Amino acid sequence: MRISVITPSIRPAGLEVTRETLKLQTFTDFEHVTKLSEVGPKSDLCASLNDCIRRSQGELIVILQDYTRVRPDALERCWERYQEDPEVGWTFALEKTDDWETIKKSDWRIERPDGSYVAWNEWETDFACIPKKAILEVGGWDEDFDAGFSWDNVEIGYRLFKCGWGFRVDNRNRALAWDHDAHIPHPHRHRPNRDLWIGKKYEIDQGKVRLDFVR
């Protein structure tokens, strides 16, 4: 197995959108590892990502969020970028929309030179890829971030950076994503993890890098 596409979700309809877009891929040596959770008192995104990693068989991990459509050659391009530079995590351009016909906005990645290096905190994981060995090297996602909302991708990006991994942007491999909150408002957005991240960064800078999230 070359690629494992992982999609944790709390939105069954959104997960189905992602499943349907993967059926059209020209690259066929992949699996789709999903985790559908019910909305609970706290997030389980990081725990679900780690669960998907544990069950994955692929050499390259492609993270693809729900309610997202990609082009038929998307996984092919992911594999090509991995072959081009296997020592980095790639982040791909995303165009957001309220419907499939009208683009709502395009993100910063489209404006960056294709293939250029980006900072560790710019490795956005709505549509991204990285070798599985990198995730295992840093131990996966920190499940403490499931207490609130966001900053989990920043924290794992920083751990990857501290372990020597770099990050690049592909502004041509674009996905189209619906506005999630227009369908099911995120239940934990009111509890940002910013203060937690500040404490975690201090721990990492002190050499306290945990490597035991994925077992």
Q: Which secondary-structure segment (H or E) carries 106?
A: strand 103-106
Per-position pLDDT tens, the chain of length 215: 899 999 999 989 999 999 999 999 999 999 999 999 987 777 899 999 999 999 999 999 999 999 999 999 999 999 999 999 999 999 999 888 777 667 777 789 999 999 999 999 999 999 999 999 999 999 999 999 999 989 999 999 999 999 999 999 999 999 998 877 666 677 677 789 999 999 999 999 998 776 667 76
Closest CA to 168 of 73, 85, 65: 85
Other Cβ atoms within 10 Å of 208 Cβ, number: 9
- Phi then psi dihedrals of residue 172, to 5 deg: -105, -25
Q: What's the rounded Cα separation, in Å, for the pair 32 and 5?
A: 5
Integer Cα distance of 36 and 8 in angstroms: 6
Alpha helices per DSSP H over the chain: 12-22, 45-55, 74-84, 132-138, 152-162, 194-205
Domains of the chain and any CATH numbers: 3-205 (3.90.550.10)
